[in-house]
Amino acid sequence: MQKFSDIEKKYQLRIFSRSIRGYMYVFKPDLQDYMVIRHFNGELKPNFTQVFAEIVERINQWVTSNKLLREHVEVELVREVGEDFIILPYHKSYSTLSAIEQWDEDLIPEELETMRKILRSEIGNPGNEKEKIIEEILVRSLLEPSGKTWFYEKINKFIVSEPRITQEHLEKWSKISNG
């Protein structure tokens, strides 16, 4: 498993964002699209990269298993897991949920309220503790303002490029998995 310092040297990375969750770096690997590295050097602790990727995978499974919700939402999967970092696809968008909250009413995609109604109807009755965590993250990622969820007009879907997972979520998930 690679370390962030190895990738940093290889690609001569520069900081894209100094997030309290962990610094972010944008880079373009050979023959690939741009990617973003989330360095787990902030609130997100390095020994939880595998757990983070597992939660993202389970969120994706939860969304795709819901016939109505998957018509409106896609979750980007982690492309690589390192000792102290993850790599995700990079998207530059001005239609994030944070930005949309500031738009005039007539500019807000009608799909927003449809997606939110579907999600609200599907949450609230988790089958287990992990599903409860998934629902909490989906609420944070789709019902609250987020710079990591954006509307892709070409396919009329909301793309969750990085679910709003907290260190507390990671620790609870890990405890359940190892408990």
Q: Is the dihedral of CA 82, 88, 89, 94 positive or negative?
A: negative
Name 114's bridge partners.
none
Residue 82 has pLDDT above 90, yes or no: yes
Please give the model's pTM, rounded to 2 decimal places.
0.94
Task: Evaluate if residue 93 carries a pLDDT over 80.
Answer: no
How far is residue 135's CA from residue 148's CA, in Å, rounded to a whole number? Answer: 17
Measure CA of the first residue to CA of the last residue in the chain; give whole Å. Answer: 25
**Rounded to 5 degrees, what are φ and ψ at 25?**
-135, 135
Side-chain half-sphere of 169: how many Cα atoms within 13 Å?
Answer: 25
Residues 96-102 have a mean pLDDT of 86
Which residue range is the domain that position 59 belongs to? 4-178
Question: How many domains does one find in the chain?
Answer: 1
Mind listing the pLDDT tens digit for each residue in 125-179? 999 999 999 999 999 999 999 999 999 999 999 999 999 999 999 999 999 999 7
